[in-house]
Amino acid sequence: MKIPQPIPEHLLKAFYARDRRYDGVFFTGVTSTGVYCRPVCRARKPKRENCVFFNTAAEAELADFRPCLLCRPELAPGVSGVAPNSPFVEPEDQTLGERQQRRNSKQAFGVTPKQWQRTQNLLLAKRLLTDTEMSVTDVAFAAGFSSVRRFNDVFKQRYQLTPTGLRKTKAQNPEQKDWLRLTLNYRPPYRWQELLAFLASRQIYGVEHITDHSFARSLALVNRDGSTVHGEIKVTHNEAKHQLALAVSAGLHPVIATVIDQAKQVFDTQAQPQLIAENLMAGKIPGNFSDKGLGLRVPGSFAGFELAVRAVLGQQITVKAAATLSRRFCDRFCQPYQGIQPELTRLPVSAHVIAHAHVDDIASLGIIARRAEAIIAIAQQVCSGQLVLAPGADAEAVINQLQAIKGIGPWTANYVALRALAWPDAFPKEDIVLRKALAGADAITRTAKQAEALSQPWRPWRSYACLYLWKIAHDQSV
């Protein structure tokens, strides 16, 4: 359950130094107070003999520690692959026995799937109670509890405090009427402008609106009762506090847990920049990664099917030309939307709509028939459940499934895995820009096979290598 004694010296140093690189990587239980804290906690540090170290918040709570009300462990950045939608929590592979699932979860997180999920639910509820004006009833259901009574009982048992008691000193915020305002913490450095620029050049007109300082888009998400809810978000950057500000419209409150989790994936707030940099530099990645690559994030996707469509539309044409096709596609197939932000006029494309579309309907937009057929095939497989385009899916299996569709090659499949699946080890070796960036001093463009061989030492962080190499190529072209 806890990290074996003696306490690793590097964790002890990180804890006393309030090292942000380790925020969310481990938690410290203080035996003299019964609370557990993030490494960055501003409270006076306890004596060493009163410290117990845990890999996860779930481990700390299983050991009867309560979350610190000052540093708020629920706000800590996660660790890539350790999220509420982890396959250890809700495994996609139904052939995996329950005992094996529990064993895998214990090895990965130190707790069982149910213990992990319960902690995530409680921490989300604590966050919503503290940061929003949502009613206790709405918080209970948004956090995954089946009843308010059950929520109250578990909350009081675990935290020795009632949900309403936590709110006694909370000031009312009139701005919460139309928006929920939350924060997403990250480990610095964070190259916000590079991430925005990448997303802006590929934004979907009407569904997304990206400026030099903000990201906004509409969302259509499935609620726990099977209904679809609509709304919008806006994300800005607070560099001084090492966090992103996430505003969520009222229509999305029932699915706030999904919105938060998706935002973490899209903006890659769980990345560990120093760890990734050390791995890539040890693998002799070309150029100066510490100067040009440290802090780069892999941009994810709020809608996997939407991203797959955008990837197919972008095959063998420029980013600008793909944006034009994407706009036509959106105008033709996306449902109109009217919300708070006037620039958002469409909802994301629905796989169900495209699954029943005719090839000629898509081809009439100037899209090659084979690509139109591929888009329809993807939609049909998504609707049937055969193809899962979301973080937590088996990346290798999804890549193979996509490549089995006529008109989809390795580049498209890997690009979808990189963004829709948030897979940190995607490597579209066929990408000509990437291969040119690998040329080095000899200025000879690498073959796809050579690029693949060169990339092996960078595993499992090749997606970050891709973003870095694309940035090198872009910088050299301007």
Residue with tokens 């906690």: 41
**Pair 285, 181: CB distance under 8 Å:** no
| Tokens of residue 434, six digits | 């990437």
DSSP state of 72: -
What residues contact residue 15 under an 8 Å CB cut-off, 6+ apart? 22, 28, 39, 45, 51, 53
Catalytic residues: 431
CB 328 within 8 A of CB 366: yes
For residues 240 and 274, the answer to whether their CB atoms sit within 8 Å is no
- Enclosing H/E stretch for 243: strand 243-249
> Cα separation of 93 and 81, whole Å?
16
Taking CA atoms, 120 is separated from 113, 144, 393, in Å, by 11, 9, 20
Q: Cβ atoms within 10 A of the Cβ of 209, count? A: 21
Give dist(CA 263, CA 234) in Å, integer.
10
For residues 191 and 277, the answer to whether their CB atoms sit within 8 Å is no
What tokens appear for 470 in the block? 């694309």
HSE-CB for 324 with a 13 A CA cutoff: 7
Beta bridge partners of 182: 246
- The residues, any chain, with a CB within 8 Å of residue 364's CB and separated by 6 or more, are none
Query: Residue 146 is encoded by which pair of tokens?
Result: 């089946």
71, containing H or E segment? none
